[in-house]
Copies of this chain bind each other. A is one copy, B any other.
Amino acid sequence: MMDATTPSEQTEKRARAGRSARREQRSHGPQGLGRPYIVRNIPTYDILSEEGLIRIEETADRILAEIGIEFRDDPVALDHWKRAGAKIDGVLVKFEPGMLREILKTAPASFTQHARNPAKSVEIGGKSVVFSPAYGSPFVMDLDKGRRYGTIEDFRNFVKLAQSSPWLHHSGGTICEPVDVPVNKRHLDMVYAHIRYSDRAFMGSVTAESRAEDTIDMARIVFGEEFVDANCVILGNVNVNSPLVWDGTMTTSLRAYARANQAAVVVPFILGGAMGPVTNAGAIAQSLAETMAGCALTQLERPGAPVIFGNFLSSMSLRSGSPTFGTPEPAVGSMVIGQLARRLGLPLRCSGNFTTSKLPDAQAMNEGTVSMLAAVHCGANFILHSAGFLDGLLSMSYEKFMMDTDFCGALHTYLDGVVIDDNQLALDAFREVGPGNHFFGCGHTMANYQSAFWDSELADNEPFEKWEAAGSVDAATRANRRWKKVLAEYHAPHLDPGIDEALKDFMARKKASMEDAWY
């Protein structure tokens, strides 16, 4: 925001833009085109009883008090815990029941993550739902070239595809690993790509404290130092090294984000039977324990810093020993996690369109739909992996990305639920049409048809004969055509040339200060 206004004027401008965007979204009809994020109009699906939730919370408390969590390679974290009154034994930290809940009281229940385009800022918490692309694949794939390592060009392509979709709300983070850029420098190119090719909110680097700090420095160039200190403009997705270990790489990054008043997303990745027990209730209790500890650490670093309660539950094929995704256990587990997060009063992150399928086929969309609906039903405010996930998180698929964003569109309508008013109840239409006649041309239909139904751009609803005459094209092939069209039509959003120059200078200086590292 290198313009003539003061930071507080900027804040007010942003707030006004956000309000007007929220007003606008109500006038867009059920398809919700142009909403910066979704405000859910259906309740969460609370599947576990109060009694069951209490049993899980008690188990988490006992894990924390009796077994404890190791905080490795981060003396500052240990120091925080010591001052907070935890029991320290080497790197093992034990927490009295209730202690973490007390610390977490300073964390906000909801916060705004600002985008560089204020109309695209997102609310994270309460009834808001934000869809963000998949994160972290080393490979990319498409139907033409198959699977190969991701490059910075692929990374930019996915940022552009995300920016072009009206059904995503966030630019994501490490959409794929750009393996053609040195490991120690690629965070700069990734963050720059999000800022340059998207005007939505995004996620920064977490693979080293210095890289988290570089991300925050680049955000300061875009938003101004004072604005960044007072507002969340970046999320950093940090993983627990489950079971019950927090690694210094992650906690130093987590603390860097919290210190700068930016939001860590705290995520245990629990593959039941490997990093957690094979039983769902136990894995959920573990997830709760690990997440509470991580979230609380942000509050010790900077009370009041925004933080997101995350989770990533997965099961295992016990015939092959392979991880499975989109299966029933994580789906119902997510819904319980949602209940637990709400009892803590923290914004919730869940994972979206999971699958182990290697192709954008029937398996991919069955598993993806199960897990995405679980994320939506459980009340997740921030849904990572909403689009593109294939092959157990190893591949980012161009075709699956288009299928998933289309489904994200359908979910806008889904989350609107059934609206009740005189027009929707349509008593006059029945009077007009009467028994045995059709509603095609009636006044009520004419007045409502334009916003009546979700209309997928990717699904084929044509009669068989018409579909056959057009070449019997399957969903994957349609998606293949679509991403090429969308990329060809992409236009970059405006970026202030002064900011662009400053970002490039920053990156050049940083890159010049390091030798290339490739692993």
Contact = CB atoms under 8 A, between A and B. Distances in A.
B417 A332 contact: yes
A302 interface: no
Given A272-B452, A418-B284, A444 B336 contact: no
A366 B363 contact: no
Contacts of A430: 63, 67, 243-244, 277, 282, 286
Given A418-B280, A427-B59, A460-B356, A274 B452 contact: no
A479 B362 CA distance: 10
Given A62-B427, A425-B281, A440-B273, A357 B475 contact: yes
A435 interface: yes
Nearest to A431: B67
A274 B413 contact: no
Contact of A358 (B317, B319, B363, B464): B464
A51 B418 CA distance: 12
Contacts of A363: 365, 403, 458-460, 474-475
Nearest to A377: B45
Interface in A419-466: 419-421, 423-427, 429-431, 433-440, 444-445, 448-450, 452-456, 458-464
Given A243-B430, A464-B147, A410 B281 contact: no
Contacts of A182: none
Contacts of A92: 435
A198 interface: no
Contacts of A232: none
Contacts of A282: 424-427, 429-430, 444
Nearest to A410: B328
B276 A439 contact: yes
A369 B361 contact: no
A370 B415 CA distance: 13
A407 interface: yes
Given A56-B425, A427-B63, A278 B449 contact: yes
Interface string A29-51: 01000000000001101111001
B427 A317 contact: no
A283 to B, nearest CB: 8
A245 interface: yes
Interface in A372-429: 373, 377, 391-392, 394-395, 400, 403, 407, 410-411, 413-414, 416-421, 423-427, 429
A92 B436 CA distance: 11
Contacts of A377: 45, 377
A329 interface: yes
A453 B417 contact: no
A317 B455 CA distance: 6
Contacts of A431: 66-67
Q: Which of A30, A439, A467 counts the most chain B CB atoms within 10 A?
A: A439
A206 to B, nearest CB: 20
Contact of A362 (B273, B332, B361): B361
B418 A67 contact: no
A333 interface: yes
Interface string A344-377: 0000000000001111111111111110010001
A131 to B, nearest CB: 15
A421 B431 CA distance: 56
A315 interface: yes
Contact of A243 (B417, B436, B456): B436
A376 B410 CA distance: 19
A448 to B, nearest CB: 5
A307 interface: no
Interface in A220-245: 241, 243-245
A279 interface: yes
Interface in A320-346: 320, 322-324, 327-329, 331-333, 336
Interface string A256-276: 000000000000000011111
A439 B277 contact: yes
Contacts of A273: 439-440, 445, 449, 452-453
Given A55-B420, A365-B363, A365-B366, A425 B475 contact: no
A406 to B, nearest CB: 9
A444 B274 CA distance: 12
Interface string A65-105: 01111100000000000000000000010000000000000
5 contacts: A67-B430, A70-B435, A279-B448, A286-B430, A327-B456
Q: Which 4 A-B pairs have the closest CB atoms?
A: A282-B426, A244-B435, A328-B414, A277-B426
Given A51-B420, A316-B453, 19 more contacts: A52-B418, A243-B434, A243-B438, A243-B439, A244-B430, A273-B452, A278-B439, A278-B445, A279-B429, A282-B430, A324-B455, A329-B453, A336-B418, A356-B461, A362-B362, A363-B403, A363-B475, A364-B475, A366-B366
